[in-house]
Amino acid sequence: MTDYSKMSEDQFRQMVRDFISENLPPEMAARWKKMYHPYKPDVVWWTSKLNEVGWSVPGWPVEYGGPDWTIAQRHIFEEEVFLAGCPALSPQGLTLVGPVICHYGTPEQKDFHLPKIRSGEIMWAQGFSEPNAGSDLAALQCRAVRDGDEYVVNGQKIWTSEAHYSEWVFMLVRTSTEGKKQAGISFLLIDLDTPGITIRPIISIDGGHELNEVFFEDVRVPASNLVGEENKGWTYAKELLAEERTFSAEVKRHKGQLRRIKNIARETKIRGRPLIEDPHFQRRLAQLEIEVLAHEATLWRVVAEEEAGILGAAPTPSILKVRGTELVQRLGALMIEALEEAGLPYYAEHDYFLTEPADPPGRPDAYGVSSDFMFRRSLTIYGGSNEVQRNIIAGQLLRN
């Protein structure tokens, strides 16, 4: 096995670049660079390719197949694969439920699930949110009642990303109504083919189908699919949500957006001159670029602190999330403006996960920009809304 700890950051970056140039099919990169949402066959293929060298699960413990990278190496990898146009991997299995199974799963759960998650053979959905339990997640009502060797599940989940093409869902379910609401929640793994499950699409503002409502009616789940102890699910879920401390900073996306804005602004002509030469546009672009650089510097400072084990009391993950997601939205808005009338909404990606996208007519560099802009409104909502993050920042800073 390669010893990555002996590599400099430059050597590591070069190794990742070499791997990508040798293995990534150009047509796959072309699809993703146009901001198509990931196309499932691409995602599955690329996950299995990365798995061949042990790179599909950078955050997992080594004994379960993780490559033992430093946090800095993980960030370098994320940036390189994103900017090269590699299909975005589905995070639910690889970065959310996978580590929970590594830490709390039974030997049988580990043997059955971990290899299939690592290789991309099985896709997962996350069944946490409900119509009346989003920011206040512990208010969830979906019930699982023990009946012999099974749980019987009844209730509803909502905003369940990718459920329509996933094979399994990991769920938070209510197993007790006694005591504090957090103390009656369990973590259950459910095969989405089980009778009694209905998945209905939610078409989002970008015209696409990523989100779903999932209904459970007397769904019988083997009790052996419980992760850890009954009524301890809240603890595991909190760990899962805290797992990715710095990975919502979005710097890789900012860099891709800046690159694309500049390319677009070279093509857009204002009174016969490229927009990129317009001083007013240049000022606005420079302002955003400076903010991205400052944000990146903050990210690397936090990574260095995290690696040195000296992460302070400051709510840095929340700060990185708020700042990073808002910058994505502002860069997206400038990209739309740079396209002029070609930036008007155009939805061609209705079933993007399951249908190979075709090029639409019109300005080629405009494709996907408006639908991506619309979809990324959601960045400030999911993963803990930015208002809630601001509460955390204020609470921690005012307390200290």
List interacting residues with ligand FAD (CB under 6 A): 126-129, 134-135, 159-161, 211, 378, 381-382, 385, 387-388, 391
CB 90, min distance to ligand FAD, A? 10
Task: Tell me which residue of 180, 170, 181, 111 sits closest to 141, measured CA to CA.
Answer: 181
Q: Which of 244, 250, 296, 349 is catalytic?
A: 244
CB 127, min distance to ligand FAD, A? 6
Q: Which is nearer to ligand FAD, 66 or 384 (CB)?
A: 384
Indicate if 27 belongs to the active site: no
Q: Is 144 helix (H, G, I), strand (E, B) or coil?
A: strand
Q: Which is nearer to ligand FAD, 29 or 388 (CB)?
A: 388
What is the distance between the alpha carbons of residues 81 and 29, in angstroms, rounded to a whole number?
10
Q: Which is nearer to ligand FAD, 96 or 288 (CB)?
A: 96
Non-local CB neighbours of 181 within 8 Å, separated by 6+ positions: 138, 139
Sign of CA dihedral 273, 254, 73, 304: positive
Residue 40 vs residues 32, 118, 180, 183: alpha-carbon distances, Å: 12, 15, 40, 37
CB 59, min distance to ligand FAD, A? 18
CB 377, min distance to ligand FAD, A? 8
Quick one: angle between helices 316-338 and 386-399, nearest 10?
A: 140
Q: Which is nearer to ligand FAD, 70 or 378 (CB)?
A: 378
Q: Which is nearer to ligand FAD, 126 or 186 (CB)?
A: 126
Q: Which is nearer to ligand FAD, 101 or 265 (CB)?
A: 101
Sign of CA dihedral 275, 279, 280, 284: positive
Residue with the CB atom nearest ligand FAD in the bound state: 134
Q: In the structure encoding, which two tokens stand for residue 293, read together?
A: 């650089």
CB 172, min distance to ligand FAD, A? 8
What is the distance between the alpha carbons of residues 15 and 36, in angstroms, rounded to a whole number?
27
Sign of CA dihedral 211, 239, 236, 396: negative
What is the distance between the alpha carbons of residues 171 and 92, in angstroms, rounded to a whole number?
11
What is the distance between the alpha carbons of residues 171 and 220, in angstroms, rounded to a whole number?
14
Reduce the secondary structure of 161-222 to three states and give it as a string. Answer: CCHHHCCEEEEEEECCCCCCHHHHEEEEEEECCCCCEEEEEEECCCCCEEEEEEEEEEEEEE
CB 75, min distance to ligand FAD, A? 23
Length of the chain: 400
Q: Which is nearer to ligand FAD, 362 or 395 (CB)?
A: 395
What is the distance between the alpha carbons of residues 129 and 160, in angstroms, rounded to a whole number?
8
CB 135, min distance to ligand FAD, A? 3
- Residues carrying an active site annotation: 244
